[in-house]
C-alpha cells in the first residue's frame, strides 16, 4: 500500500524557517517524481515544487523561488521541503504527492498533509 | 500560465441524483486534465485523468468528458460518500494548475 506521511509543520514567525519531511513507503520511491502541493485555509490547491527521481531537476512556483528548496534522499525514502523567509501567505497545509510514473505533474497519491502557520 | 475555472462554486444535489461539474481552461490543454475529490480534513484523491480515464478503484458512476478548454465531471447517482469538493487540474503546460473547486453538498 502506498503511504506518504508528512511531518515538520508548526507555528513559525514571519521571516523564519521550517523543514518539512515526507516519509514514503509501499512503492519504489526512487522511481518517481515527487511534488509538494499546498492548500491555504479554506482555499484551493496550489502546486509548489517538484523533483526528479535522482534529484537532478527541480522546479518551483514563482512565489517560492529563492526561498524554498526541495530535496530527496532515496536511501531513506524521504522527500523534504526547506522553507526560508516565510511569509504569512505561506500559511497552508502542505501535501507530499507522488507523480504518476507515466505522466509528469499528475498526482496519483497524496499524504495527509502537515499544517504550516506563519504568524507573529 | 493556464487559468482553470470551475463552475458552479457550490452544487446542491439530492442523494441518487446526477451531478454535473464544469471546468474551463484559459487555453487548450488537450486531454491533459485530471479531477480530484477532497473530503473535509482529508487529502485529495485522484478520480479521473486524461479527461476521461478513471483512476484505479474509482467507481463507474464517476465519468469525465471533454477536451481542449471545456471539461465535465459527471457523477451519475450521488452516494452519501460523494459529497465533497472536486478540483480539476491541467498538466498539459508547466506549471500545473488547479481550478478553484466545486463543493457538492446535500440538498
Those residues with Cβ within 8 angstroms of residue B75's Cβ, 6 or more apart along the chain or in another chain: B18, B19, B21, B61, B62, B82, B104
Q: What pLDDT sits at residue B107?
A: 87
Task: For chain B, positions 40-59, list CB contacts with chain A under 8 A.
Answer: 42-46, 49, 55
d(CA B1, CA B82): 31
B7 and B22 in contact (C-beta within 8 Å)? yes
Residue-averaged pLDDT of chain B: 96
Residue (of B18, B11, B10, B7) closest to B79 by Cα position: B18
Confidence of residue A77 (pLDDT cuts 50, 70, 90): very high
Q: Residue A62: what are its φ and ψ, rounded to 5°?
A: -55, -35
Those residues with Cβ within 8 angstroms of residue B31's Cβ, 6 or more apart along the chain or in another chain: B50, B51, B52, B67
Q: How far is the CA of A95 from the CAs of A7, A27, A45, A81, B39, in angstroms?
A: 10, 18, 10, 11, 14
d(CA A104, CA B6): 23
pLDDT at A7 over 90: yes
Percent of chain A with pLDDT over 90: 97
Q: What pLDDT sits at residue B58?
A: 97
A47 contacts B98? CB cut-off 8 A: yes
Q: Residue A90: what are its φ and ψ, rounded to 5°?
A: -85, -5
Partner B contacted by A100 (CB < 8 A): yes
**Partners of residue B97 in chain A, C-beta under 8 Å:** 47
Low-confidence ranges of chain B (pLDDT < 70): none
Amino acid at each position: 500500500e502506498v503511504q506518504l506521511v508528512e511531518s515538520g509543520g508548526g507555528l513559525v514567525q514571519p521571516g523564519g524557517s521550517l523543514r518539512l519531511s515526507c516519509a514514503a513507503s509501499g512503492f519504489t520511491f526512487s522511481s518517481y517524481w515527487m511534488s509538494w502541493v499546498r492548500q491555504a485555509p479554506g482555499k484551493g490547491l496550489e502546486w509548489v515544487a517538484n523533483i526528479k527521481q535522482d534529484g537532478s531537476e527541480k522546479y518551483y512556483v514563482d512565489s517560492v523561488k529563492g526561498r524554498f528548496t526541495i530535496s530527496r534522499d532515496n536511501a531513506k525514502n524521504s522527500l523534504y521541503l526547506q522553507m526560508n523567509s516565510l511569509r504569512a501567505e505561506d500559511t497552508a497545509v502542505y501535501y507530499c504527492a507522488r507523480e504518476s510514473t507515466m505522466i509528469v505533474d499528475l498526482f496519483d497519491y497524496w499524504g495527509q498533509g502537515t499544517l504550516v502557520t506563519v504568524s507573529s | 500560465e493556464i487559468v482553470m475555472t470551475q463552475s458552479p462554486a457550490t452544487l446542491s444535489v439530492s442523494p441518487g441524483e446526477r451531478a454535473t461539474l464544469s471546468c474551463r481552461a484559459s487555453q487548450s490543454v488537450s486531454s491533459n486534465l485530471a479531477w480530484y475529490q477532497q473530503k473535509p480534513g482529508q487529502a485529495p484523491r485522484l478520480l479521473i485523468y486524461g479527461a476521461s480515464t478513471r483512476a484505479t478503484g474509482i467507481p463507474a458512476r464517476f465519468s469525465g468528458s471533454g477536451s481542449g478548454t471545456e471539461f465535465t465531471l459527471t457523477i451519475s447517482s450521488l452516494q452519501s460518500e460523494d459529497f465533497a469538493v472536486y478540483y480539476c487540474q491541467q498538466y498539459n503546460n508547466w506549471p500545473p494548475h488547479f481550478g478553484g473547486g466545486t463543493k457538492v453538498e446535500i440538498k
